[in-house]
Amino acid sequence: MVKSCFHTPAALLAACTLALTLPAPALAQDEVNVYSARQEALIKPLMDEFTTQTGIRVNIVSAQADALLQRLRSEGRNTPADVLITVDAGNLNNARAAGVLRPIESAVLNEAIPENYRDAEGHWYGLSMRARPIMYVKGKVDPADLSTYEALTDSQWHRRICIRSSSNVYNQSMTASMIIANGEAETESWARGLVANMARPPMGGDRDQIRAAAAGQCDLAIANTYYLGQMLNSSDPAERTAAQSIGVFWPNQEDRGVHVNVSGAGVVAHSRNVDNAVKLIEFMASDSAQRWYAEANQEYPVKPGVAWSGTLAELGEFQADAVNLGLLGDFNAAAVRLMDRAGWR
């Protein structure tokens, strides 16, 4: 029953939850079970290559990050999961705080992944990076008028900014990084100014902010770079046209740098296949896997020295905020409360 849930369509996964809370038999030594908040298409080629190289089969359950965390909490020691893959350091830190990840020791991962992109005690490791810069409509905005996130509250940007909801963890982590840099009071003032300059109520995802800017609903958008990169390489001509009308500005290059975040993975606390789980995460930090992330998903490698995709290279080099991403989870609750007080819905 447990194994069948890994091959169940997403719409039926909820029906498996009760079954997955029952005691599970020992799992085969030649497999590893992954709970993934990333779409299966974004990671399956890597999983297939891992199987080819090691003979270890990978079973994947995909769902939203919050749903997977709740599922791991509910399943407890009866979970069949070995690895959690999720997006944003905020989600990774939430998983650590919930006790669903175990610390691991891996010289391979510690050497491959910079300290600020992994948990200090080995509960999780960043595997791909994205930046969250300011995007602008070419021909309507002079990039010389842009400078920092903080300056987005200036009157010249009144009703010209598109950004998604405060319920989105990407914005929560960005706001948390600003609290770390500027303090809570100053960041709340910034959030109020940002809300005043929004062109419309927050709606949709990052791609929707880019589309809205391209369609003339706003002149600036805040979005993750890999969404723009994927749109630039889309098979849909309308997507490519929208993305081609957008320029990227790297804010805060004279001080802390642009906000960056990671997708990452950790070994589940009650994993029955710990060795295989560690092998899989180490494989995902290898040069070949990091190159695949860059070329296929338009995400920046976290491993130094691995080449960016041509699309990412065209967006230009930048200074990234060097804050330890493990701190973003510590300030997440404060960020959410602050955004709510500022009227960011």
User: Could you tell me which residues are annotated as the binding site for Fe cation?
Assistant: 226-227
For residue 195, the cross-strand partners are none
Dist CA 127 CA 117 (whole Å): 8
Separation between Cα atoms, residue 211 and residue 189, nearest integer Å: 28
Cβ neighbourhood burial of 238 (10 Å; 0-12, 13-18, 19+): exposed
Q: Are strands 31-36 and 57-62 parallel, antiparallel or unpaired?
A: parallel
Eight-class DSSP state of 302: S
Cα 99 from Cα 101, distance rounded (Å): 6
- Quote the Cα angle for 60-280-114, to 5°: 120
Summarize the annotated binding site as residue ranges.
226-227
Helix ranges restricted to H, 125-182 = 169-182
Within the chain, strands assigned E span 31-36, 57-62, 83-87, 101-102, 125-131, 134-137, 161-162, 220-222, 246-249, 260-268, 300-301
